[in-house]
Structure 1
Amino acid sequence: MLPELAFLALVIATLAFGLLAICPMIGKPQYAWNLSYISAIFTAISIGILAYGFAVDDFSVEYIAAHSNSQLPTFFKIAATWGGHEGSMLFWLFALSVWVSLFAFFSRKIDPIIAARTLSVLGLLCLGFGIFIIFFSNPFIRQFPLPPEGRDLNPMLQDVGLIFHPPLLYLGYVGFAVNFALTIAALIDGHADAAIARWMRPWALVSWFFLTVGIVLGAWWAYYELGWGGWWFWDPVENASLMPWLLGLGLLHSLIVTEQRGIFSYWTILFSLFVFAFSLLGTFIVRSGVLTSVHAFAVDGERGSALLALFFLMTVGSLTLFAMKTDLRQSAVRFSVVSKETLMLLANILFAVAMISVFIGTFYPMLFTAMGWGSISVGAPYFNSIFLPLIVILLIAMVIAPATKWQKIDRTFLFKRLACLLPSAVAAYTLIRYTVNQEPSLKFNWTALILLSLAIWLFISTVWTNWRTMRLKRVGMILAHCGVAVTVIGAVMSGYFAAEIGVRLAPGQSRQLNGYEFRYVGFSNEIGPNYTSEKARFDVVKNDEILTALYPERRYYEVRTMNMSEVGINWGWLGDIYIVMGDKLTGESGNPGEFTFRLHYKPFAGWLWFGGVLMAIGALCAALSLKRNGKKK
Structure 2
Amino acid sequence: MIPEIGHYALVLALLLAIVQSILSLAGAARRDTAWMEAGRMAAFAQLGVVTIAFLALMQAYVVSDFSVLNVVENSHSLKPMLYKVSGVWGNHEGSMLLWVLMLALFGAAVASFGRNIPPTLKARVLGVQGLIGLGFLLFMLLTSNPFVRIDPAPLDGNDLNPLLQDPGLAFHPPFLYLGYVGFSVAFSFAVAALIEGRVDPAWGRWVRPWTLVAWASLTMGIAMGSWWAYYELGWGGWWFWDPVENASLMPWLAGTALLHSAIVVEKRDALKTWTILLAILTFSLSLLGTFLVRSGVLTSVHAFAVDPQRGVAVLILLGLATGGALLLFALRAHSLKVGGLFAPVSREGALVLNNLLLSVSAAVVLIGTLMPLLLDVFGHKISVGAPYFNFITPFLAIPLVLFMAAGPFLSWKRADLPGVLGRLWVAGLLTAIVVLAALWQQGVRPVMALVGIAMAGWAVFGAVWEIADRVKLFRVPARDSLSRARGLPLGAWGTATAHAGMGIAIAGMVGTSFWLTEDVRVMGIGDKAAIAGYELTLDKVEDLRVANYTTEMGHFTVRRDGQTIATLTPERRWYPVAKMQTTEAAIYTTFAADLYAVLGEPNGDGKGWVVRLYHHPLVPWIWIGSLVMVLGGLLSVSDRRLRVGVPARRAAPAVSNLQPAE
Asked whether the two chains share a fold, i.e. TM above 0.5, the reply is yes
Would the aligned equivalents of 2:409 and 2:466 in 1 still touch at CA under 8 Å? no
Indicate yes or no: 2:554 matched with 1:536. yes
- Give the superposition deviation at 1:434: 1.6
Deviations 1:164-188 (A, max 9, x none): 1011100111011111111111110
Q: Which position in structure 2 is the counterpart of 1:439? A: none
Deviates more, 1:269-278 or 1:443-452: 443-452
Q: Which position in structure 1 is the counterpart of 2:610? A: 596
For residues 280 and 512 of structure 1, the distance between their equivalents in structure 2, rounded to whole angstroms, comes to: 48
Three-state SS of the structure 2 residue aligned to 1:409 is coil
For residues 420 and 342 of structure 2, the distance between their equivalents in structure 1, rounded to whole angstroms, comes to: 20
Would the aligned equivalents of 2:594 and 2:620 in 1 still touch at CA under 8 Å? yes
- Give the superposition deviation at 1:338: 1.3
- Give the superposition deviation at 1:369: 0.7
Alignment of 1:14-413 (within 5 A): 14-27=14-27, 28-373=35-380, 375-409=381-415, 411-413=418-420
- Give the superposition deviation at 1:145: 1.2
- Give the superposition deviation at 1:597: 0.7
For residues 455 and 437 of structure 2, the distance between their equivalents in structure 1, rounded to whole angstroms, comes to: 14
- For residue 576 of structure 1, what is the amino acid of its counterpart? D
- For residue 268 of structure 2, what is the amino acid of its counterpart? R
Q: Which position in structure 2 is the counterpart of 1:551? A: 569
Q: Which position in structure 2 is the counterpart of 1:12? A: 12
Three-state SS of the structure 2 residue aligned to 1:82 is coil
For residues 259 and 488 of structure 1, the distance between their equivalents in structure 2, rounded to whole angstroms, comes to: 30
Three-state SS of the structure 2 residue aligned to 1:600 is strand
Deviations 1:4-55 (A, max 9, x none): 1110011001110011111123332120111011111000000101000000
For residues 627 and 398 of structure 1, the distance between their equivalents in structure 2, rounded to whole angstroms, comes to: 23
Would the aligned equivalents of 2:268 and 2:339 in 1 still touch at CA under 8 Å? no
- Give the superposition deviation at 1:252: 0.3
TM-score (norm. length: structure 1)? 0.96
- For residue 450 of structure 1, what is the amino acid of its counterpart? V
For residues 162 and 4 of structure 2, the distance between their equivalents in structure 1, rounded to whole angstroms, comes to: 29
- Give the superposition deviation at 1:224: 0.6
Deviations 1:105-163 (A, max 9, x none): 01222100011111111101101100100010001111111101100011000001011
For residues 39 and 563 of structure 1, the distance between their equivalents in structure 2, rounded to whole angstroms, comes to: 42
2:580 to 559, 562, 567: 562
Q: Which position in structure 1 is the counterpart of 2:632? A: 618
Q: 1:445 to 1:148 in 2, by over 3 A?
A: same
For residues 613 and 626 of structure 1, the distance between their equivalents in structure 2, rounded to whole angstroms, comes to: 22
Three-state SS of the structure 2 residue aligned to 1:121 is helix
For residues 289 and 394 of structure 1, the distance between their equivalents in structure 2, rounded to whole angstroms, comes to: 35
Q: Which position in structure 1 is the counterpart of 2:658? A: none
Would the aligned equivalents of 1:539 and 1:546 in 2 still touch at CA under 8 Å? yes
Would the aligned equivalents of 1:16 and 1:39 in 2 still touch at CA under 8 Å? yes
Q: 1:486 to 1:502 in 2, by over 3 A?
A: same
Deviates more, 1:424-433 or 1:512-521: 424-433
- Give the superposition deviation at 1:629: 5.9
For residues 400 and 327 of structure 1, the distance between their equivalents in structure 2, rounded to whole angstroms, comes to: 33
Three-state SS of the structure 2 residue aligned to 1:153 is coil
Query: How big is the alpha-carbon RMSD for the aligned residues of Structure 1 and Structure 2?
Result: 1.4
Would the aligned equivalents of 1:538 and 1:549 in 2 still touch at CA under 8 Å? yes
Three-state SS of the structure 2 residue aligned to 1:326 is helix
- Give the superposition deviation at 1:425: 2.6
Q: Which position in structure 1 is the counterpart of 2:448? A: 447
Indicate yes or no: 2:447 matched with 1:431. no
- Give the superposition deviation at 1:308: 0.3
Q: 1:627 to 1:399 in 2, by over 3 A?
A: closer
Q: 1:109 to 1:596 in 2, by over 3 A?
A: same
Would the aligned equivalents of 2:457 and 2:503 in 1 still touch at CA under 8 Å? yes
Three-state SS of the structure 2 residue aligned to 1:625 is coil
For residues 427 and 631 of structure 1, the distance between their equivalents in structure 2, rounded to whole angstroms, comes to: 40
Deviations 1:364-401 (A, max 9, x none): 0011111112x111011101111111111011111211
- For residue 180 of structure 1, what is the amino acid of its counterpart? F
Indicate yes or no: 2:524 matched with 1:510. no
Equivalent pairs counted in the alignment come to 622
Would the aligned equivalents of 1:61 and 1:143 in 2 still touch at CA under 8 Å? yes
Q: Which position in structure 2 is the counterpart of 1:461? A: 462
- Give the superposition deviation at 1:422: 4.1
Would the aligned equivalents of 1:72 and 1:529 in 2 still touch at CA under 8 Å? yes
- Give the superposition deviation at 1:433: 3.5
- Give the superposition deviation at 1:192: 1.5
For residues 580 and 197 of structure 2, the distance between their equivalents in structure 1, rounded to whole angstroms, comes to: 57
Would the aligned equivalents of 1:263 and 1:330 in 2 still touch at CA under 8 Å? no
- Give the superposition deviation at 1:525: 1.1
Deviations 1:215-252 (A, max 9, x none): 01111111111111011110000000000000000100
Would the aligned equivalents of 2:205 and 2:642 in 1 still touch at CA under 8 Å? no
Would the aligned equivalents of 2:459 and 2:503 in 1 still touch at CA under 8 Å? yes
Deviations 1:583-627 (A, max 9, x none): 012xx2352xx2101000000100000111111111111111145
Indicate yes or no: 2:497 matched with 1:496. no
Structure 2 portions without partners, runs of 5+: 28-34, 472-483, 648-662
Three-state SS of the structure 1 residue aligned to 2:202 is helix
For residues 182 and 26 of structure 1, the distance between their equivalents in structure 2, rounded to whole angstroms, comes to: 17
Deviates more, 1:155-164 or 1:326-335: 326-335
Three-state SS of the structure 1 residue aligned to 2:203 is helix
Would the aligned equivalents of 1:192 and 1:328 in 2 still touch at CA under 8 Å? no
Q: 1:590 to 1:214 in 2, by over 3 A?
A: closer
Identity %: 41
Deviates more, 1:537-546 or 1:619-628: 619-628
Deviates more, 1:280-289 or 1:413-422: 413-422
- Give the superposition deviation at 1:630: 1.4
Q: Which position in structure 1 is the counterpart of 2:619? A: 605
For residues 413 and 46 of structure 2, the distance between their equivalents in structure 1, rounded to whole angstroms, comes to: 47
Three-state SS of the structure 2 residue aligned to 1:452 is helix
Q: Which position in structure 2 is the counterpart of 1:440? A: none
Would the aligned equivalents of 2:408 and 2:466 in 1 still touch at CA under 8 Å? no
Indicate yes or no: 2:498 matched with 1:480. yes
Deviations 1:329-354 (A, max 9, x none): 43352222211111111011001100
Would the aligned equivalents of 1:421 and 1:454 in 2 still touch at CA under 8 Å? no
Three-state SS of the structure 2 residue aligned to 1:538 is strand
For residues 608 and 429 of structure 1, the distance between their equivalents in structure 2, rounded to whole angstroms, comes to: 22
- For residue 197 of structure 2, what is the amino acid of its counterpart? G
For residues 458 and 134 of structure 2, the distance between their equivalents in structure 1, rounded to whole angstroms, comes to: 49
Would the aligned equivalents of 2:209 and 2:642 in 1 still touch at CA under 8 Å? no
Q: 1:370 to 1:194 in 2, by over 3 A?
A: same
Q: Which position in structure 1 is the counterpart of 2:479? A: none
Would the aligned equivalents of 1:83 and 1:153 in 2 still touch at CA under 8 Å? yes
